[in-house]
């Protein structure tokens, strides 16, 4: 695992086997692929998430989020409340590898129009053991 400011127990990239699964799922040669480092693919799942502190330790109760799209770098989700924590652990079913606990760094949590919902986006920064 890579060394980080948070300690050597935190991987800074999505593991190779997860990247390989996402590579198979994501389209190539599209306009979106040409504009982005990694294209997004629509994904609609209800996933469990746990707020984490800076050391990637749980600091709250699990919540349920609805996924919107995913890429090799990150994911966008929808929730009924604004996310105030910088990190979330997301339980994602990834192909034959089963459920994986990926750490998402939240960089956007904004109202989704007048719906009362929140659009939350972030990048993958590692995986919990």
Residue ranges per domain, the chain?
16-127
Q: What is the pLDDT of residue 14?
A: 46
Cα separations (Å) of 94 from 12, 80, 90, 120?
Answer: 19, 25, 12, 20
Q: What is the pLDDT of residue 37?
A: 72
Q: What are phi and psi of 92, to 5 degrees?
A: -120, 135
Q: What is the pLDDT of residue 7?
A: 30
Distance between CA atoms of residues 87 and 122, nearest Å: 9
Q: Is residue 60 within 8 Å of 50, Cβ to Cβ?
A: yes
Can you tell me which residue has the tokens 């652990």? 89
Distance between CA atoms of residues 104 and 123, nearest Å: 5
- Domain 16-127: CATH architecture, name and number where available: Beta Barrel (2.40)
Q: What is the pLDDT of residue 102?
A: 95
Q: What is the pLDDT of residue 62?
A: 96
Low-confidence ranges of the chain (pLDDT < 50): 1-15, 26, 29-34
Q: Which of 61, 74, 68 is nearest to 104 (CA)?
A: 74
Q: What is the pLDDT of residue 6?
A: 28
């Amino acid at each position: 695992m890579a060394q980080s400011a948070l300690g050597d127990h935190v991987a800074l990239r999505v593991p190779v086997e997860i990247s390989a699964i996402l590579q198979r799922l994501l389209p190539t040669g599209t306009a979106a692929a040409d504009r982005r480092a990694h294209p997004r693919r629509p994904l609609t799942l209800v996933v469990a998430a746990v707020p984490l502190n800076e050391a990637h330790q749980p600091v709250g109760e699990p919540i349920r989020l609805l996924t919107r799209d995913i890429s090799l770098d990150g994911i966008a989700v929808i929730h009924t409340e604004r996310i105030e924590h910088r990190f979330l652990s997301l339980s994602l079913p990834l192909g034959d590898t089963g459920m994986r606990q990926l750490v998402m760094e939240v960089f956007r949590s904004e109202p989704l129009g007048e719906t009362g919902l929140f659009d939350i986006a972030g990048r993958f920064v590692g995986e919990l053991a």
